[in-house]
Structure 1
């Protein structure tokens, strides 16, 4: 096998290493074919714009004439005692006094009832809330709709960007740009395509593959090391898709586990909810899968830089020792992430007078189990695949 001299890759910051022509050519050719298939998938699965426009915004959020003005809080009464017969007006509890700050009723003082959790959420005079105004007898009847949180959310977002740019600098900037691109793909392609009834698994695979191509290369640069991580990521996505499809169908999950699913069945009946569930599993595992594969690829190249005379078999073995440690910690990340999102549900299940083992088969719990285990299987298998590809593409061992 000849040595190619047209490309060099700096590993570990010490010396340039020539990559064998054949494994490099095979890897890049395979990725090029995947890129072509992905572009073809984007064209074939691109949602019908007329159908998407017809669905988007087709459901009225409120009755005609109902508005949602903001108001400034003047006083927050304490939550009412847990007494079903209690009168909030008599007890002076469970209400918020506010002044409408916009719209036709600007300057109007209102007194609205709120749930106990809103009274106890820490609202203070000067905070802003969103009201719902229903026209009645030429005036309007006000109710509490929500708390205005855009200010703190903007501060948190800006802080996130500042921290990322301050610590990661150029890499952080490229990561933010990649994140923005991922949002465009998901919201501009995947969501409309799923909404108009395109098959969930192909849509998710095409979207995830397009995201990974851009995110990995923009963040980590064009190199054989990044290409290796990309190949391992794509293999992990394929495994996740196959296992997810089997798990969803073998467990007979409907994909409708909450009010949102029931709402979609009414207004977007073209959606295949089992495919939608599998698509959610694929997209949800992108971040962790990307983290594991780029780490494994980098670890193998660092091993080659540190030990130029180490054989590829030895590099693979050493890389897998690193990968096993990474697998253990990342599985915790996946499982605890899903457990955190389902924490409220777990608390509710503790209130029932049935053993937890009897409730595992419920739609809500089974969905979380399938998500966690499917993502973990794809993740675990991506580690040896990435390590193997990296071990093949690193430079040959040098004689001592």
Structure 2
């Protein structure tokens, strides 16, 4: 962090800004470009900002009365295998449930204490017929109960899902502790950026898509806002980070264009996925292909960010180690690092998508169809196109970001003006 008393001692970029002085023209161009893009992102967000229009709750998510589903907390305190049909099933009661009338078929009965809502402190009875897809409830487990009213106005309860708040909280806390313990303040800033990214998706992206706004501009604005937040928070406001940001933004646009071309060429519908089919059936003003496109764009950001920040750092560090190296030398050396990174990251990208499609591939494997039909079917083709588009954008991001970083790490005429003697070698490596 010490400064050199030579003619370039006043560059003042410190540890985060890069090891070498940067020409004022290059700095102005970078700052000007990023400021212009930021203004465009803000204008786009203002133009695409979702309205306050009311959207009806889709039928599968409605209660019997047409409202939103309300859930309450519960704990299973007793369980047995007995005849179904108890009048207490789904009702709030105290004491023991009423016996079923007559001889009914057997089911797994669970007595659940209701721990929230208007009937807190009472019990209810869940009757579940054992079979594939039915929950295997056990005594002591925490569950979520759907609370709704029937046609007579009585409150009834039914099983909704397992309660995962505590275990999920512990897992997320362990993740945060591990990140902060290893990366310290930078890790904490990265977690803050992750929170901002989630906020952008919840506050802007999803409401704008629900409002019927075009998916590609929404995804690009959302992605750019996320990148500005996560990169500058995690890596500091400096030219090294700025070069990575420029490379990532350009690569994101490439990914968007490739996604549009690939979706149109392959005629992907997305209707092979149940969630997309539900969206088309119940939220008809939302484009399914638009959702696919937005998913492709936003899904590529993480891996692009990883590669571009690594390439920018490599170029700046290589320029610091050898202050006599030209831009061409810095670029060539950083590209050797980038090729290794591409090879390893492509494996990660493809295997991540393949892992997500394993249940689908398993079903196809027992269906007796040909491997060609499986691979070209809509469901698997989506994952193939997603991985391919991400891989192309990833490959193009490496030379693009490396070139930007090499330009910034080695300003014009730096070799002749900034290296009067060998004593300066490595002075700014830290």
Normalised to the residue count of structure 1, the TM-score between the two structures is: 0.86
Deviation of the 1:17 alpha carbon? 2.1
- The answer to whether residue 112 in structure 2 is matched with residue 98 in structure 1 is yes
Give 1:55's aligned residue.
55
Give 2:27's aligned residue.
24
Residues 16 and 238 in structure 2, CA contact (< 8 A), matched pair in contact too: no
| Pair 57,303 (structure 1): closer, same or farther in 2 beyond 3 Å | same
Residues 8 and 19 in structure 1, CA contact (< 8 A), matched pair in contact too: no
Residues 12 and 301 in structure 1, CA contact (< 8 A), matched pair in contact too: no
Residues 64 and 150 in structure 2, CA contact (< 8 A), matched pair in contact too: no
Q: Give the RMSD, CA atoms, in angstroms.
A: 2.9
Residues 19 and 319 in structure 2, CA contact (< 8 A), matched pair in contact too: no
Aligned length: 383
Residues 95 and 112 in structure 1, CA contact (< 8 A), matched pair in contact too: yes
Counterpart CA distance in 2 for 1:110 and 1:32 is 61
Deviation of the 1:275 alpha carbon? 2.0
Counterpart CA distance in 2 for 1:299 and 1:179 is 24
| Pair 237,115 (structure 1): closer, same or farther in 2 beyond 3 Å | farther
Give 1:33's aligned residue.
36
**Whose radius of gyration is greater, 1 or 2?**
2
Deviation of the 1:145 alpha carbon? 2.3
Secondary structure at the aligned position of 1:19 is classed as coil
- The answer to whether residue 261 in structure 2 is matched with residue 258 in structure 1 is no
Secondary structure at the aligned position of 1:110 is classed as strand
Normalised to the residue count of structure 2, the TM-score between the two structures is: 0.81
- The answer to whether residue 186 in structure 2 is matched with residue 171 in structure 1 is yes
| Pair 117,97 (structure 1): closer, same or farther in 2 beyond 3 Å | farther
Residues 146 and 160 in structure 2, CA contact (< 8 A), matched pair in contact too: yes
Residues 315 and 391 in structure 1, CA contact (< 8 A), matched pair in contact too: yes
Residues 76 and 119 in structure 1, CA contact (< 8 A), matched pair in contact too: no
- The answer to whether residue 398 in structure 2 is matched with residue 383 in structure 1 is yes
Secondary structure at the aligned position of 2:325 is classed as coil
Q: 1:325 aligns with which of 308, 324, 340?
A: 340
Structure 1, residues 95-129: CA drift from partner, whole Å, max 9, x if none? Answer: 534344444384335242155567786x5421122
- The answer to whether residue 293 in structure 2 is matched with residue 290 in structure 1 is no
- The answer to whether residue 86 in structure 2 is matched with residue 71 in structure 1 is no
Deviation of the 1:67 alpha carbon? 6.0
Structure 1, residues 156-181: CA drift from partner, whole Å, max 9, x if none? Answer: 12222222222221111111111111
Deviation of the 1:364 alpha carbon? 0.9
Counterpart CA distance in 1 for 2:46 and 2:158 is 47
| Pair 67,232 (structure 1): closer, same or farther in 2 beyond 3 Å | closer
Structure 1, residues 370-393: CA drift from partner, whole Å, max 9, x if none? Answer: 111111111110001001111111
Structure 1, residues 320-374: CA drift from partner, whole Å, max 9, x if none? Answer: 1100110011111111111121111111111111112122222111111111111
- The answer to whether residue 152 in structure 2 is matched with residue 128 in structure 1 is no
| Within-5 A mapping of 1:202-351 | 202-351=217-366
Secondary structure at the aligned position of 2:22 is classed as strand
Q: Which runs of 5+ in 1 are unaligned?
A: 79-88
- The answer to whether residue 43 in structure 2 is matched with residue 43 in structure 1 is no
Residues 94 and 119 in structure 1, CA contact (< 8 A), matched pair in contact too: no
Deviation of the 1:23 alpha carbon? 2.3
Counterpart CA distance in 1 for 2:211 and 2:231 is 29
